[in-house]
Structure 1
Amino acid sequence: MKVLTDQLGFEHKFEAVPKRIVSLVPSQTELLYDLGLEDSIVGITKFCVHPVHFKATKTVVGGTKNVKFDKIKALQPDIIIANKEENTQEIVEQLSEICPVWVTDIYNIEDNNRMIEDFGAIFNKRTNATKWVDKINFALGEFEKFVADKPVKKAAYFIWANPYMVAGGNTFINEMLKLNHFANIYEDKNGRYPEVELKKMRLEGDPDFVFLSSEPYPFKDEHAFEIGRFTHHAKTVFVDGEMFSWYGSRLVKAFDYFKILHQKIN
């Protein structure tokens, strides 16, 4: 029997390696695939878009905030993979009546690497997990050299419109911004994803860059124009939200993306 503790501190006992997995987090679905667990994944969310063919080969069990419990129960999972930010406590508690629910809690790369190692232990994929952690750490080291001489610039990272919302402090996005030498002007604002008033943006930090994320909201040129009216000199840039907000194996691609982004905006 394995006794393992998830990132919320809950202890789980496994009599055997879980063979049927339901994943409720897009980035973690991608990670499970990259760890070699494709055949074990039986259920995913409608937002699990990587790898692309999963939409045709796996059962979609709803969204991250509104899962279909009957569908999940019918899949007879051995384990459900969730996340503190993506899935509500109520969902986790209800799903716990079906089988163990492993909850991750990711704020930085250290948390991310622990998650990968945990999955390696749970699913008997330790060698694959170690390879991915090594890849991430190597890519991180190379990227830190790349940005070492770049000055810190102020930035605002928008995730939603109507109302306008941004990434605040204590978020994985904020960690990625800091890693890129961007000082988040809303890091100290109340809430992890606070609503903001555009007319106050100059007073609250006057950013050098305004990043408009590709997800969860599909920003368009008209949003860039509207936001731009309230900045002093900021350059507005459309960015790939997956690269800033997805953890797991996606980080290896993210560091390459960040290098291209810096070359494009500087």
Structure 2
Amino acid sequence: MPSFTDQLNRTITLPGIPQRIISLVPSQTELLASLGLDEEVVGITKFCVHPGHWFRSKKRVGGTKKVHMDVVHELQPDLIIANKEENVREQVEELARHYPVWVSDVNTLGDALGMIRALGDMTNTAAKAAATTHHIEAAFSQITPVQPAVRTAYLIWKDPYMTIGNDTFIHQMLLRCGLQNVFEHQTRYPAITVDQLQTANCKLLLLSSEPYPFKQQHIDELQQYLPHTLILLADGEMFSWYGSRLLQAPGYFNELLNKLKIS
């Protein structure tokens, strides 16, 4: 039986090519769809909104943080795809007592490309996965980063405001765009205040569409405290989804950077 090592250096053994896959990660669910695994994927989370026809038709096993074990057992998967950050460790460990669970750990573009290739190897779609990584690398080579770097803050949550540190995938995407994360001295997802935003002297403030759905009203609220800062809404999927969505991200980044040139 073939064995595979995940991105936490855990080794799993599969009985063969997986025929009943559950994905607990939205961006990786979208990737599995792009690899053509429509029949093989039997379960997804309630946050796996892409592709839309999967969201409407596939069995939902709960959320990324609260998996319904009884639904998983009902589906009897032969492979579960999870992620270190997005899923709860105790739940992953419980699932691993019953099924092969492959866990990704994606903090850089290189990690994402490695994850894509690994899923291709496990699901007998290596050629499609290789083509996907090739196209992603080519697309990222076309990003034209702003120069000099623009002091930038990126918010993912409200009440309290939360931003991103230097050990996140979003931080790496900002760097690719020539955007300097003013909170790069922090790690993970620290809570911050408006006072800290003012002190940071950011020239650009990006408000993400997820996990908190920032809207124009939030731009208006913050603009009064940051009158000299350009505040824009950002597509969170482009900055934080590390599957096949990366094919679209560079084009989106270039459009965003063009807004900076004309502002």
Q: Same fold (TM over 0.5)?
A: yes
Consecutive unaligned residues in structure 2, runs of 5 or more: none
Q: Aligned partners of 1:96, 1:3: CA distance in 2, in Å?
A: 15
1:210 is aligned, of 193, 196, 205, to 205
Quote how far apart the aligned CAs of 1:165 are. 0.6
State the 4+ residue runs in structure 1 displaced beyond 3 angstroms.
none
Deviates more, 1:174-183 or 1:213-222: 213-222
**Residue 195 of structure 1 aligns with which residue?**
191
Give the TM-score normalised by the residue count of structure 2. 0.96
Q: Aligned partners of 2:206, 2:96: CA distance in 1, in Å?
A: 38
Structure 2 residue 179 is matched with structure 1 residue 182: yes
SS of the residue aligned with 1:160? coil
Is the 1:6–1:103 Cα contact (8 Å) retained in structure 2? yes
**Residue 221 of structure 2 aligns with which residue?**
226
Q: Aligned partners of 2:4, 2:30: CA distance in 1, in Å?
A: 22
**Residue 69 of structure 1 aligns with which residue?**
69
Q: Aligned partners of 2:194, 2:24: CA distance in 1, in Å?
A: 34
Is the 2:23–2:44 Cα contact (8 Å) retained in structure 1? yes
SS of the residue aligned with 2:153? strand
SS of the residue aligned with 1:38? coil
* Amino acid paired to 1:30: E
Matches within 5 A, 1:1-266: 1-143=1-143, 146-147=144-145, 150-189=147-186, 191-203=187-199, 205-231=200-226, 233-266=228-261
* Amino acid paired to 1:51: P
Deviates more, 1:225-234 or 1:213-222: 225-234
Q: Aligned partners of 2:93, 2:35: CA distance in 1, in Å?
A: 27
Quote how far apart the aligned CAs of 1:56 are. 2.3
Q: Aligned partners of 1:45, 1:264: CA distance in 2, in Å?
A: 35
- Number of positions where the alignment pairs a residue of Structure 1 with one of Structure 2: 261
For 1:31-61, what per-residue CA distance to the aligned partner results, in whole angstroms no more than 9, with x for missing partners? Answer: 0010111110000001101100112221011
Is the 2:152–2:205 Cα contact (8 Å) retained in structure 1? yes
Q: Aligned partners of 1:201, 1:140: CA distance in 2, in Å?
A: 29
Is the 2:216–2:233 Cα contact (8 Å) retained in structure 1? no
Quote how far apart the aligned CAs of 1:230 are. 2.8
Is the 2:14–2:79 Cα contact (8 Å) retained in structure 1? no
Quote how far apart the aligned CAs of 1:13 are. 1.4
Q: Aligned partners of 2:238, 2:14: CA distance in 1, in Å?
A: 33
SS of the residue aligned with 1:250? helix
* Amino acid paired to 2:180: A
* Amino acid paired to 2:252: Y
Consecutive unaligned residues in structure 1, runs of 5 or more: none
* Amino acid paired to 2:162: M
Quote how far apart the aligned CAs of 1:264 are. 2.0
RMSD: 1.2
Identical aligned residues as a percent: 45
* Amino acid paired to 2:113: N
Is the 1:206–1:232 Cα contact (8 Å) retained in structure 2? no
Give the TM-score normalised by the residue count of structure 1. 0.95
Quote how far apart the aligned CAs of 1:232 are. 5.3
Quote how far apart the aligned CAs of 1:226 are. 2.6
Is the 2:22–2:79 Cα contact (8 Å) retained in structure 1? yes
Q: Aligned partners of 1:225, 1:193: CA distance in 2, in Å?
A: 23
